[in-house]
Amino acid sequence: MSARFATSTVAVLGFGNQGRAHALNLRDAGVEVVVGARPGRGAESRARTLGFPVADPPEAARRAQVVAVLLPDEAVPAAWPALAAALAADSALVFAHGFNLLYADLALPPCGDVVLVSPTGPGSVLRRLHERGETLPAYLAVHRDGSGGAWALAAEYAEKLGCAPVLRTTVREETEVDLFGEQAVLCGGMNALVTAAFETLVARGYAPEIAYLECVHQLKHLADLLHERGVAGLRQGISGTALYGDLSRGPRVIGGPSRAAMAALLEEIRSGSFAREWAAEEAGGRRWLEAAVAGAAGHPIEQARRRALGPRPGPAEADA
Ligand SMILES: NC(=O)c1ccc[n+]([C@@H]2O[C@H](COP(=O)([O-])OP(=O)(O)OC[C@H]3O[C@@H](n4cnc5c(N)ncnc54)[C@H](OP(=O)(O)O)[C@@H]3O)[C@@H](O)[C@H]2O)c1
């Protein structure tokens, strides 16, 4: 272990999706960890149950030389004044996403390193792979090189986290591409695509549970092929009929209007207007978001899932 990690305590602020995995993986690698969690909340008791020392986030930051900021992005600006007051001038900061480094005007320690170590997957996956001796790729970036060794700090943190290979990028690139990926494909695009396909079939009289199995449930098998083999490899694993339909029809589904929508939402990310809109929604108590989530939960696609698959467990807490 380098002198830096051998002599440093790492404060993991937040014990949610990423925080839990970072704390456990770093501890497995021999790093001394203190968890920063709000007193009396679920995260505090979950961390204590796993044997971590816990303090409220500013106190944890005060005790550490390296501080991993793993609070929800939207909670960081309000929590920051108390955290900033607790940081030493040379505290090193690790973020898992560049959102607040790019869009919020955080007061940073004047001479500390500020780096990005962003695993390319949920914390539950990072932890599961680590337990199996496998790794997850991560992006590294340096926002500020206070010590002259910020890249080395980021690389060593990633290694102890169980991330490999690592790709060097910038805070801007990581943030903009991450937001675009989740809006256009991984969350927004995927959910809108499967919902639209389901509605198209059901509106024309097809059984909802069959529409569900075909347009939603099977997606995982194809996504697994895509993950393992890439686009060309997936095409080798499907029937000739599916292959012809893919190449001749897919570009009609994601055609000119969808590409124009992608370009427009990328521009909203790059200009900062998406971040301002999200900050205003958070400041206003998430009224639109909560109504949208409640409305979507009542969509017939949820009933179709239950009818097609029977009762299933809800989302695991660690995946939340
Ligand atoms: N989720 C992912 O797949 C993923 C992937 C890569 C990077 N990231 C990045 O990782 C970072 C953490 O995201 P996450 O998804 O792990 O967050 P999360 O699961 O929502 O974790 C939130 C944690 O922070 C605590 N918390 C919430 N508000 C707080 C506050 N005001 N003060 C102190 N603690 C607070 C919560 O515990 P209590 O409510 O019990 O206090 C919980 O432990 C973000 O920068 C995110 O962009 C996430």
CB of 58 shorter than 6 A to ligand 1: no
Helix pair 300-309, 188-203: axis angle to 10 deg: 80
Residues recognised as catalytic: 97
Cα of 17 from ligand 1 centre, angstroms: 6
Q: How confident is the model at residue 314 (pLDDT cuts 50, 70, 90)?
A: low
Q: What is the mean pLDDT of residues 25-34?
A: 97
Lookup result for tokens 């993991």: 12
- Enclosing H/E stretch for 140: strand 136-144
Please name the amino acid found at residue 293. Answer: V
The sign one gets for the Cα dihedral 214, 216, 220, 222 is positive
Mean pLDDT, rounded, for 123-133: 97
What pLDDT, on the 0 to 100 scale, is given for residue 143?
98
Alpha helix positions (H), the chain = 3-6, 17-28, 42-49, 57-63, 76-86, 99-103, 123-131, 150-161, 171-181, 188-203, 208-212, 219-236, 240-253, 256-271, 273-283, 287-297, 300-309
- Calculate mean pLDDT across residues 287-308: 95
Least confident range of 129-143, 201-215, 301-315: 301-315
Amino acid at 9: T
Mean pLDDT in residue range 52-81 = 97
Q: What's the 158 CA to ligand 1 centre distance in angstroms?
A: 18
Q: What is the pLDDT of residue 312?
A: 74
What's the pLDDT tens digit per position in 261-281?
Answer: 999 999 999 999 999 999 999
State pLDDT tens for residues 283-295.
999 999 999 999 9
pLDDT at 313: 66
Cα–Cα distances (Å) from 206 to 84, 192, 219, 297, 300, in that order, read 57, 19, 19, 21, 13
Q: Please work out whether the CB of residue 14 comes within 6 Å of at least one atom of ligand 1.
A: yes
DSSP symbol at 117: E
Residue with tokens 């998406």: 274
Residue nearest atom 5 in ligand 1 by C-alpha distance:
122
Report the relative pairing of strands 136-144 and 114-119 from DSSP bridges.
antiparallel
Q: Whose CA is nearest to atom 2 of ligand 1?
A: 122
- Alpha carbon nearest to ligand 1 atom 38, residue: 43
Question: Is 100 a pocket residue for ligand 1 (Cβ < 6 Å)?
Answer: no
Question: At the topology level of CATH, where does 3-170 sit?
Answer: Rossmann fold (3.40.50)
**Helix, strand or coil, per DSSP, at residue 243:** helix
Whether 1 lines ligand 1, by a CB cut-off of 6 Å, is: no
C-alpha of residue 11 to centroid of ligand 1, in Å: 14
User: Does the Cβ of 208 fall within 6 Å of ligand 1?
Assistant: no
| 14 Cα: distance to centroid of ligand 1 (angstroms) | 5
CB-CB neighbours of 186 under 10 Å: 12
Q: Residues 165-180: pLDDT tens digits?
A: 999 999 999 999 999 9
Question: Can you give the pLDDT at residue 7?
Answer: 81
Is the pLDDT confidence value at 5 over 90?
A: no
Q: What is the pLDDT of residue 317?
A: 43
What are the residues whose beta carbons fall under 8 Å from the beta carbon of 167, sequence distance 6 or more? 137, 138, 139, 140
DSSP, res 106: -
Dump pLDDT digits (tens) for 212-259: 999 999 999 999 999 999 999 999 999 999 999 999 999 999 999 999
Average pLDDT, stretch 8-30? 97
Q: What is the CA radius of gyration of the chain?
A: 22
Beta strand pairing call for 92-95 and 114-119: parallel
Q: Of 65, 269, 248, which is closest to residue 174 (Cα–Cα)?
A: 269
318 pLDDT exceeds 50?
A: no
The alpha carbon of residue 14 and the mean position of all alpha carbons in its chain are separated, in whole angstroms, by 14
Instruction: Report whether residue 119 contacts ligand 1, using a CB cutoff of 6 Å.
Output: yes
- Compute the distance from residue 71 Cα to the ligand 1 centre, in Å: 4
- For ligand 1, whether the C-beta of 122 sits within 6 Å is yes
Residue boundaries of the structural domains of the chain: 3-170, 179-319
Q: How far apart are CA 147 and CA 53, in angstroms?
A: 28
Whole-angstrom CA distances from 286 to 261, 281, 292, 307 are 24, 5, 10, 31
Q: pLDDT tens digits, residue range 32-59?
A: 999 999 999 999 999 999 999 999 999 9
Tell me which residue has tokens 């997936």. Answer: 234
